[in-house]
Amino acid sequence: MDPFVRRAVLLGAVWLVLIALFWSDWRDMARQWWDSSTYTHILLVPPIIGWLIHQRLPQLRLIRTSLWWPGLVAIAAALALWLMGAFAGLNLFRQAGAVAVLPASAAVLLGPRQIAALTFPLAYMAFLVPFGDELVPPLQMITAWLTIQLTHLSGIPAAVNGVFIDTPAGLFEVAEACSGVKFLIAMFALGVLVANVCFVSWKRRLAFMALAVFAPIVANGIRAWGTIYVAQYIGAERAGGFDHIVYGWLFFAVVIAAVLGMSWRWFDRSLDADFVDSSAIEGSPRLARLEQLTIGARSALLAGILMVSGSLVWASAADRLVAPLAAQIDLPAVPGWTRTDYKPKVWWEPRATGAEHRLLGRFRNPAGQEVDVFVAIYASQRDGKEAGGFGEGALRPETDWSWSQPGAPVPGAKVDRLLAQGRVGRLTETYYRTGNILTGSNTRLKLANIVDRFLLRERPTALLILSAEEGGVAAPEQVLANFRQSIGPVDQWMDRMAQLR
């Protein structure tokens, strides 16, 4: 068998083994590709990668392969990323690590010269990872700002409150689905492909990428404005249907065509140009020096097995960590406040999937101020039991409540304004407690969980959400401040309630 073909077959077999070992992550990614409209474009990424490699095959056959030990460092880095995701319950990191270990193993088996020729196809594998949900809140705010500006310019009286826009035709929400994240992610993936395939100059590539990012954001603002504008004449409900049919498909197709059409004349790669200069790679002194860092086949295999198996065993041990908890907890008495019936204007109940204890109650003081308190205690943090996971906490998906905007900062808390049915407002303060840490940052909580699981240390996690409805006897900010003053230091109050100290 041809040496190049033999090495390619070996790499394919290694990839199949790695996918099987990290099958749960690949299965979860595939489900997102198929089920989530945000990530359906990823179904095209595998054939695109195959096409990119196929375009380079004639040159790849002219380039030497070698077993290269620095590729083991890349494998270790990919596994470390996967472990961070496993320890923190972050699917993004787990999936990124599961994908990154594939090109890392290619570096070991193919060597620096082949990797130099395959850099872009292997790097493009990053788009196999579903990412972008983190961009939704800022994109909602940007879209709302663009929309209100265009609405005013078109002469329509309107007022904006966070992601809600009030017009004569009704109240419009820039919901998560309207943030434009779907189109931005797909456009970014397309832009990176076009920048590599159609351009040679890095200045032109960067200019095209700036356009590929800027255009969908502005286009989404125009789309949202168009919906509001049409609604003034045909009604909000009909305008919504018009938006999904016309703007959801035709408008963004036109945007893609416009971006490519505007850039066409600046394409500077010849149609018959090779994607790889095999002679330059073979003659490179730097690659020749790197190629000397070889490793034996048995040593490479043994090191790879030890690293992969060690990571899987370590993650499995961390998953079995369970901290001891009290058999029962209760909301403690608060000086100056009494427990009262929980009767919200619109039902509000945070979500804490996987928590061993959950409590929801309302406190009232003599002045008539009311505070809702939600507590959840977790014996461990892992997939399906994440205090800061997506859809967990104050804003429960598929309810009447929507995120409106961030609230005024409070030390140690994440503050959000929520709105239900376009008329009922609520201010929430979210606190996480683990070890000696009190924070409103999900990132800081994740880092603390990573350290605990890295050290195989059993520690519980507590979630506290304080909330007050708008339209009461006082502003919700003042009501919550009064309640915090009554309970004393929040971290100590949480510890006493959860019986952690």
Q: Tell me the DSSP string of 113-154.
A: HHHHHHHHHHHGGGGGS---GGGHHHHHHHHHHHHHHHHHHT
Strand duo 437-439 + 424-434: pairing:
antiparallel
Which residues, 6 or more positions from 252, have their beta carbon under 8 angstroms from its beta carbon? 183, 216, 219, 223
| Position 247 pLDDT exceeds 80 | no
Q: What is the mean pLDDT of residues 353-370?
A: 94
Q: For tokens 């140009």, what's the residue?
A: 273
Per DSSP, the residues of 303-355 read HHHHHHHHHHHHHHHHHT------S---PPPBTTBEEE----SS----B-TT-
* Distances 171 to 1, 111, 231, 236 between C-alpha atoms, Å: 68, 59, 11, 9
pLDDT of 100 > 90? The answer is yes
- Give pLDDT, residue 248: 57
Q: Where are the beta strands (DSSP E) in 226-273?
A: none
CA distance 436 to 434: 6
pLDDT, residue 136, reads 85
Q: With cut-offs at 50, 70 and 90, classify the pLDDT of residue 52.
A: very high
**Res. 189: pLDDT tops 80:** yes
At 429, give phi and psi (nearest 5°).
Answer: -120, 120
For the cut 90, the answer to whether the pLDDT of residue 15 exceeds it is yes
**pLDDT-derived band at 8, boundaries 50, 70, 90:** confident
Predicted pLDDT at 24? 94
Q: Whole-angstrom Cα distance, residue 453 to residue 414?
A: 24
Task: Please give the average per-residue pLDDT across 415-431, as a whole number.
Answer: 92
Grade residue 179 by pLDDT with cuts at 50, 70 and 90. confident
More confident of the two residues 145 and 237 = 145
For residue 370, CA distances in Å to 63, 211, 334, 350, 453 come to 73, 50, 12, 17, 38
Grade residue 287 by pLDDT with cuts at 50, 70 and 90: very high
Whether the per-residue pLDDT at 201 is higher than 90: the answer is: yes
Assess whether pLDDT exceeds 70 at residue 192. yes
Q: What confidence category does residue 244 fall into, taking pLDDT thresholds of 50, 70 and 90?
A: low
CA dist list (Å): 158 to 152, 166, 413, 425, 430: 7, 5, 32, 19, 31
Round the average pLDDT of the chain to a whole number and report it: 90
Q: Please report which confidence band the pLDDT of residue 246 belongs to, taking 50, 70 and 90 as the band edges.
A: low
User: Rounded CA gap, 58 and 127, in Å?
Assistant: 25
Residue 249 has pLDDT above 80, yes or no: no
Residues 6 or more apart in contact with residue 195 via CB below 8 angstroms: 205, 208, 209, 212
Helix, strand, coil tally for the chain in percent (to 5): 55, 15, 30
Residue 462 · residue 433 · CB < 8 Å? yes
pTM of the predicted structure, to 2 decimals: 0.84
Classified as helix, coil or strand, 214 is helix
